[in-house]
Amino acid sequence: MAVPQNLVQLTSSKGLQANNAQPNGAPSNGLQPKRGVAPANGKPRAEFKSLELGRKEEFVLTGLEIGLSSNCNFRCDYCCAYNLNDKLFMTAERIIGILEDAPHLTRVKLSGGEVLIYYDECLEVVEYCTSRGLQTQINTNGSLLNEEKLERLEAAGLGCLHYSFNFTDRKEFAAYYKQPEKMFDRIEENIRISAKSEIDTVLESVIFKSTEFSLNDIHHHIHGLGVRKHEIQNGIPIAKNDWEEVLPQDRVEAVIERLIQNRHPDMTMYFSCVDVDPCGTFYPKVMSYLQSGQIHFPSCVEGRNQLHLHSNGDVLICELGHPKVIGSLVDGVRLNELLTNKPQELVDFLERRNTDKCSCTIRTLVQPQ
């Protein structure tokens, strides 16, 4: 099958280095770098979940998640990645070209797959984003990093490094992920290093059957690694396989209540994709949790302010809960126009949002204004 011009197959990225930024760091599109967040050392560091927790503009693409590649060195049975291991990746040059055509962006997330397989491409995209004042986040399993790579990401201005972390014990980790035990030690070491750096380090744990009664331990273990931000991601059913680990709503609520009751006072917590029915009994509890200022239930911004771009050019509403393709850049579709033109799949998603008929039925607490 012919590979579209903007794609490259799983080969070395050498020779594909491209940087549209000018030598002085200014972007080549003539835009002045803007500062979306308080800069650290003159660089735009990330405010984790800034879009989800901040004020929203209606249907303006301020966030883009880029599945730079869906190739991965792990095989998690919960994995929601679109077209996992399709052997494609998008070059930094191509990504930067796409970003130049998205003037309202304030945040770029690189996720996949394990995008750090393509470390040089990630670094180059981060450098470009920093030069343009865009916040950046990389989602990783943490296995392919080391001190030197972390230092270079820090120097490039990476805002947030988001690690998956679901086990506190090296044996349990190894058994679940079918990885050597020493991999767990390496990931923990990487986490310790990044927690001491200027990169905002966030650990994410998924609520599912395997973590239902260990999340409190995970939470305190994470604190011991020097991390102060813990995202608790509700497990999302995956249509493409028979993952049967998603908990019913009452058990999800019980997990959240236990976590909050036992929370470490230094930790900030983010409960993502939790269905909060405004007429239900959990709603007033959530309202009271918000009072602390350290417990957040971020809004869902997918399809309103954020889209997901896959390495083959497909644009999805949400890779996790609503992996519907609403256009392809290979067909000449432009990202910005997708939110304003609203293809039928997006209209359907928006109309059925917050009803129980949508494939992602999750009602997040604070809806975009």
Ligand X SMILES: C[S@@+](CC[C@H](N)C(=O)[O-])C[C@H]1O[C@@H](n2cnc3c(N)ncnc32)[C@H](O)[C@@H]1O
Max Cα distance, the chain (Å): 58
Write down the least CB distance from residue 68 to ligand SF4, Å: 12
Judged by CB, which is closer to ligand X: 180, or 284? 180
Residue 63: C-alpha distances to residues 298, 302, 356 (Å): 14, 9, 26
* Angle value at C-alpha 41, between 35 and 42, nearest 5 degrees: 30
Write down the least CB distance from residue 197 to ligand X, Å: 18
Which amino acid does the sequence have at 9? Q
Tell me which of ligand X, ligand SF4, none is bound by residue 346, counting a contact when its beta carbon lies within the kind-specific cut-off of 5 to 8 angstroms. Answer: none
Write down the least CB distance from residue 311 to ligand SF4, Å: 13
> Residue 131's Cα: distance from chain center in Å?
21
102 binds ligand X (CB under 6 A): no
Write down the least CB distance from residue 164 to ligand X, Å: 4
Three-state DSSP class for 250? Answer: helix
Tell me which of ligand SF4, ligand X, none is bound by residue 360, counting a contact when its beta carbon lies within the kind-specific cut-off of 5 to 8 angstroms. Answer: ligand SF4
Restricting to residues 204-223, name those near ligand X by CB under 6 A.
204, 206
Q: Which stretch binds ligand X (CB under 6 A): 79-87, 118-126, 303-311, 335-343?
A: 79-87
3-state helix, strand, coil in the chain (%, to 5): 30, 20, 50
Q: What CA–CA distance (Å, rounded) separates 138 from 160?
A: 6
Asked if 91 and 121 count as a contact pair (C-beta separation under 8 A), the reply is yes
Asked if 77 and 243 count as a contact pair (C-beta separation under 8 A), the reply is yes
Q: Which stretch binds ligand X (CB under 6 A): 22-30, 228-236, 255-263, 310-318?
A: 228-236
Contact residue for ligand SF4 among 227, 236, 256, 335 (CB under 6 A): 236
Judged by CB, which is closer to ligand SF4: 62, or 364? 364
143 binds ligand X (CB under 6 A): no
The two beta strands, 314-318 and 322-328, are antiparallel
Q: What CA–CA distance (Å, rounded) separates 51 from 62?
A: 8
Asked if 234 and 209 count as a contact pair (C-beta separation under 8 A), the reply is no
Tell me which of ligand SF4, ligand X, none is bound by residue 318, counting a contact when its beta carbon lies within the kind-specific cut-off of 5 to 8 angstroms. Answer: ligand SF4
Restricting to residues 68-97, name those near ligand SF4 by CB under 6 A.
72, 74-76, 79, 81
Judged by CB, which is closer to ligand SF4: 47, or 127? 47
Judged by CB, which is closer to ligand SF4: 128, or 282? 282
Q: What CA–CA distance (Å, rounded) separates 249 from 281?
A: 12
Restricting to residues 112-141, name those near ligand X by CB under 6 A.
112, 114, 139-141
Residue 90: C-alpha distances to residues 8, 158, 338 (Å): 7, 19, 20
Restricting to residues 281-320, name those near ligand SF4 by CB under 6 A.
300, 302, 318, 320
Q: What CA–CA distance (Å, rounded) separates 164 from 191?
A: 10
235 binds ligand X (CB under 6 A): yes
Judged by CB, which is closer to ligand SF4: 53, or 76? 76
360 binds ligand SF4 (CB under 6 A): yes
Tell me which of ligand SF4, ligand X, none is bound by residue 321, counting a contact when its beta carbon lies within the kind-specific cut-off of 5 to 8 angstroms. Answer: ligand SF4
Pick the closest to residue 129 from 112, 152, 161, 105 (CA basis): 105
Q: What CA–CA distance (Å, rounded) separates 213 from 258?
A: 9
Name, in order, each residue with C-beta under 8 angstroms of 241's C-beta and a sequence gap of 6 or more. 77
Question: Which spans of this chain sit near ligand X (rule: CB under 6 A)?
Answer: 72, 78-81, 111-112, 114, 139-141, 164, 204, 206, 233, 235-236, 238, 320
Question: Which spans of this chain sit near ligand SF4 (rule: CB under 6 A)?
Answer: 72, 74-76, 79, 81, 112-114, 141, 236, 273, 300, 302, 318, 320-322, 360, 362, 364
